[in-house]
Structure 1
Amino acid sequence: MFKLNCILCGVILCIFPFSSALYFHIGETERKCFIEEIPDETTVIVNYKVELFDPKSGGFMPSSPGIGMHVEARDPDDKPILSRVYSSEGRISFTSQTPGEHVICLYSNSTSWFSGSQLRVHLDIQVGEHAIDYANVAHKEKLSEIQLRVRQLLDQVEQITKEQNYQRYREERFRQTSESTNQRVLWWSVAQTCILLVMGAWQMRHLKSFFEAKKLV
């Protein structure tokens, strides 16, 4: 029973980080970026909605059609995955090619339209099986409830496998970094020791020359 509970907790911890919803405030020239650790060959869907601050009511209202957001996504090698201007409300999708930290940035497509007004951006990032619309899948493939549930479980297992592979990849990268750091520290210590030995030999020779010049030896 205890082992089963540990496995369930591990599955929950693996699945939970793959979906996040929030909102934030930005100015018309401000840029907001988010970092998501994503395994390779994983689908990412970004849903967003922009609201404009209304000074009269002191709240936020739906934005006009002219307000849009420039959305950028870059992979761990800082190569652009997508970069284009979308409307005030949109849904963006891309698939990761390499594992690691992906950067998703949003900023307004105008610098004068809002006259310095503040924007509220609702953002929902879904990764892996959370990005799949299972209702649509069931409708297209005509799956029963049991078949759909099995499909969800298979997708979850596949996503967990990808996450485990990504964790092994991170562990390998960390090990390589640690070994490289330890090697550099070792060579630095060897270099310091060599410098001290050379300086000591030089000082001894200098003292010997000094004593010989003074006829003390």
Structure 2
Amino acid sequence: MSGFIMNLHLIVTIGLVIFPMSACSMRFDLRSGATKCISEDIKSKAMSVGKYSVVNPNEGFPVPDSHKITVRKMVNSPRGVKYHHGDHVEAGNFAFTGAEPGDYTACFWAPDHKRPVTVGVDFDWRTGVAATDWSNVAKKGQIEVMELELKKLHATVISIHDEIFYLREREEEMQLLNRATNSKMATFSFLSLVVCLSVAGLQLWHLKTFFERKKLL
């Protein structure tokens, strides 16, 4: 059993190096009246969770109104479905399951003030296996440490398996696009060659007619 676990650990570790799970954790500055959008490529049926909070400029005191932000179209799917919205807030969180593959966008907007201020925002966005709270799984299930570890490994292997098929689909799409592009380029080259030969033939015919008129031939 221990040997199986070690081998499984090795496979998952290699897989994670090749196909890392998506976890975006950052801190950025947002000036008054400015908007910042962050995009994440999420697969269909992939779990996604995130949280954001304004950095308090006066620690120990409430966050001033000038540093509260508006979160518009917080998670905006490729079809324009809004999953989250916050108006004049200092913190928030969201969780959803991707209904379709594609780029999902999170946008933050700071209200415009007469005296411009810079608002710091902490943002953490996780998808796939990284979005699972394994501590809650352990508490709810009352399972052994080994079983919990196997659940983690099983979920990671499934995620890597789905990622491989997703990359294969993208590769097939790129191949089809390349073939279509090559076919169009070949047609365009052939037409260009026909036009060039036609123009050259017309020029020779014109020169021949001109010399015949001048009785040079």
Q: TM-score range by the shorter chain?
A: 0.7 to 0.9
Moved more, 176-185 or 188-197: 176-185
* Structure with a larger share of its residues in strand: 1
Moved more, 192-201 or 85-94: 85-94
Shift of 1:177: 2.2
Q: In 2 relative to 1, CA 78–182 (structure 1 residues): closer, same or farther, beyond 3 Å?
A: farther
**In 2: Cα distance, 1:148 partner to 1:207 partner:** 88
Contact kept, 8 Å, 2:24 with 2:124, in 1: the verdict is yes
Task: Tell me the equivalent position of 1:12.
Answer: 16
Q: In 2 relative to 1, CA 95–14 (structure 1 residues): closer, same or farther, beyond 3 Å?
A: farther
Task: Tell me the equivalent position of 2:202.
Answer: 202
Task: Tell me the equivalent position of 1:180.
Answer: 180
**In 2: Cα distance, 1:131 partner to 1:84 partner:** 20
Summarize deviations over 1:1-25 as a string: whole Å, max 9, x none.
Answer: xx99984553222553411211011
**In 1: Cα distance, 2:28 partner to 2:62 partner:** 15
Moved more, 137-146 or 159-168: 137-146
**In 2: Cα distance, 1:148 partner to 1:205 partner:** 85
Task: Tell me the equivalent position of 1:84.
Answer: 85
**In 1: Cα distance, 2:82 partner to 2:164 partner:** 24
Q: In 2 relative to 1, CA 71–151 (structure 1 residues): closer, same or farther, beyond 3 Å?
A: farther
Unaligned runs of 5+ in 2: 1-6
Task: Tell me the equivalent position of 1:211.
Answer: 211
Q: Percent identity?
A: 24
Equivalent residue in structure 2 for 1:30, among 31, 34, 38? 34
What's the RMSD between the two structures over aligned residues? 2.9
Give TM-score, length-normalised by structure 1.
0.81
Does residue 136 in structure 1 map to residue 140 in structure 2?
A: no
Paired residues, number: 208
**In 2: Cα distance, 1:138 partner to 1:166 partner:** 30
Q: In 2 relative to 1, CA 130–9 (structure 1 residues): closer, same or farther, beyond 3 Å?
A: closer
**In 1: Cα distance, 2:109 partner to 2:206 partner:** 67
Task: Tell me the equivalent position of 2:190.
Answer: 190
Contact kept, 8 Å, 1:99 with 1:166, in 2: the verdict is no
**In 2: Cα distance, 1:62 partner to 1:161 partner:** 46
Contact kept, 8 Å, 2:52 with 2:124, in 1: the verdict is yes
Shift of 1:27: 0.7
Q: In 2 relative to 1, CA 206–39 (structure 1 residues): closer, same or farther, beyond 3 Å?
A: same
Q: In 2 relative to 1, CA 46–14 (structure 1 residues): closer, same or farther, beyond 3 Å?
A: farther
Shift of 1:44: 1.1
